[in-house]
Amino acid sequence: MVPKVNSTVFADLDCAAKKSCIIVEDIIHITKKEEQKLRIAINYQAHHKTQKIICASHSIYKTQIFSLLGFFNFIIFTSAIANIPTLRNILNFFKIEKPEIERLLGLYTELGQGKKGIYFYFDCEKMTFNISKKMLFRLCKSLGDPEGNIAERRVTNSGANAKNLQTIFLKFVENFCEKNEAVAIFSVISNCVPNSLIREEDLTITFREKQKKKKMISIVDYVISILSPKLIVSPPLIVMHRFIQKYCIIPRVFIRNKAFW
């Protein structure tokens, strides 16, 4: 039986049938409205309709793809040397340490050599970089270092350090009416998110904006926003929420602000 293939447009993306495989091909530029459609498809439809969504692009900048990186399960590369700047930008997006970035770029160049039939992919959930000589990724090898893969090194937190962060957080929310719930949420975050990313002085995490400018976002503001149903949520806090979801799941019963649903 020949698989059924249909051509569609962004406007009809939410009408795609359940269990579809959707290929968004050769993305050069998409409008803000199309980006929102694609964002909903990747973040909601793929899960609730059991869909697979594949996006093919030559670049992540000026294509609106960069803002969507956190929603993908895997980011796949051919072995072309021209992909090195894009690979570097993606590893920076996921906060991989600079020495590890240089090591992985070296392996990418050495093992790929620009040859056809060699593929690399970054697992956005496990935070691992892998190589495969099979297009279906059946025989894969992790390029994690001898001390363990990226995910293992980055999410291992010192119990003492997490406890210290929790003590600092408690001072911030001492007079907050939902203090107990706030402390419980932060306990989950501090035990899952790498503590090296959290500034002890003000409990912020630093993010890079598109122009490579750094922006600090408060975890305290984030937790209070989650527990405040009527509070208007700013875009940076949504960014924080997506980032934290890569490391842990906050129980839905605690998320009282619909902006985070």
Higher-confidence residue: 246 or 203? Answer: 203
Does residue 22 sit in helix, strand or coil?
strand
Has residue 227 been placed in a domain?
Answer: yes
For residue 149, the model assigns a pLDDT of 40
pLDDT band at 155 (very low <50, low <70, confident <90, very high): very low
User: Do the Cβ atoms of 223 and 254 come closer than 8 Å?
Assistant: no
Q: Can you tell me the distance from the alpha carbon of 238 to that of 78, in angstroms, rounded to the nearest whole number?
A: 32
User: Do the Cβ atoms of 184 and 176 come closer than 8 Å?
Assistant: no
Would you call 6 exposed, middle or buried from its count of C-beta atoms within 10 A (0-12, 13-18, 19+)? Answer: exposed
Has residue 148 been placed in a domain?
Answer: yes
User: 């992909």: which residue's tokens?
Assistant: 83
Q: What percent of the chain has pLDDT over 70?
A: 87
The model's pLDDT over 192-229, given as tens digits with 9 standing for 90+, comes to: 888 888 988 899 998 876 666 788 999 999 999 999 99
Has residue 13 been placed in a domain?
Answer: no
User: Do the Cβ atoms of 75 and 124 come closer than 8 Å?
Assistant: yes
pLDDT average, residue stretch 79-100: 89
Has residue 1 been placed in a domain?
Answer: no
Has residue 11 been placed in a domain?
Answer: no
Domain match, 181 and 226 both: yes
Domain match, 256 and 165 both: yes
* Token pair for 136: 């279906």
Has residue 12 been placed in a domain?
Answer: no
Domain match, 37 and 112 both: no
- The helix or strand, by DSSP H or E, that contains position 241, with its residue range, turns out to be helix 235-245
Domain match, 170 and 229 both: yes
For residue 227, the model assigns a pLDDT of 95
Has residue 98 been placed in a domain?
Answer: yes
For residue 138, the model assigns a pLDDT of 54
The model's pLDDT over 157-187, given as tens digits with 9 standing for 90+, comes to: 545 688 889 999 999 999 999 999 999 999 9
Domain match, 34 and 110 both: no
Domain match, 164 and 255 both: yes
Higher-confidence residue: 149 or 17? Answer: 17
Domain match, 183 and 254 both: yes
For residue 146, the model assigns a pLDDT of 41
Query: Does 90 have pLDDT greater than 60?
Result: yes
pLDDT band at 154 (very low <50, low <70, confident <90, very high): very low
pLDDT average, residue stretch 98-126: 87
Three state DSSP letters for 164-232: HHHHHHHHHCCCCCCHHHHHHHHHHHHHHCCHHHECCCCCEEEEECCCCCEEEEEHHHHHHHHCCCCCC
In angstroms, the Cα distances linking 253 to 137, 148, 187, 224, 249 are 38, 35, 16, 14, 11
For residue 151, the model assigns a pLDDT of 40
The model's pLDDT over 13-30, given as tens digits with 9 standing for 90+, comes to: 888 888 889 888 888 888
pLDDT average, residue stretch 65-80: 86
Mean pLDDT of the chain: 83
Three state DSSP letters for 81-96: HHHHHHHHHHHHHCCC
Which domain, by its residues, includes 190?
159-260
Number of domains in the chain: 3
User: 């500034």: which residue's tokens?
Assistant: 199
Count other C-beta atoms under 10 Å from residue 253's C-beta: 7
pLDDT average, residue stretch 118-131: 85
Does residue 134 sit in helix, strand or coil?
coil
Distant-in-sequence, close-in-space partners of 125: CB < 8 Å, separation ≥ 6: 73, 246
Domain match, 141 and 84 both: yes
Domain match, 248 and 171 both: yes
Has residue 132 been placed in a domain?
Answer: yes
Domain match, 83 and 58 both: no
Q: Can you tell me the distance from the alpha carbon of 55 to that of 222, in angstroms, rounded to the nearest whole number?
A: 31
Domain match, 128 and 89 both: yes
pLDDT average, residue stretch 65-86: 88
Query: Does 137 have pLDDT greater than 70?
Result: no
CA angle 146, 149, 153 (to 5 degrees): 100
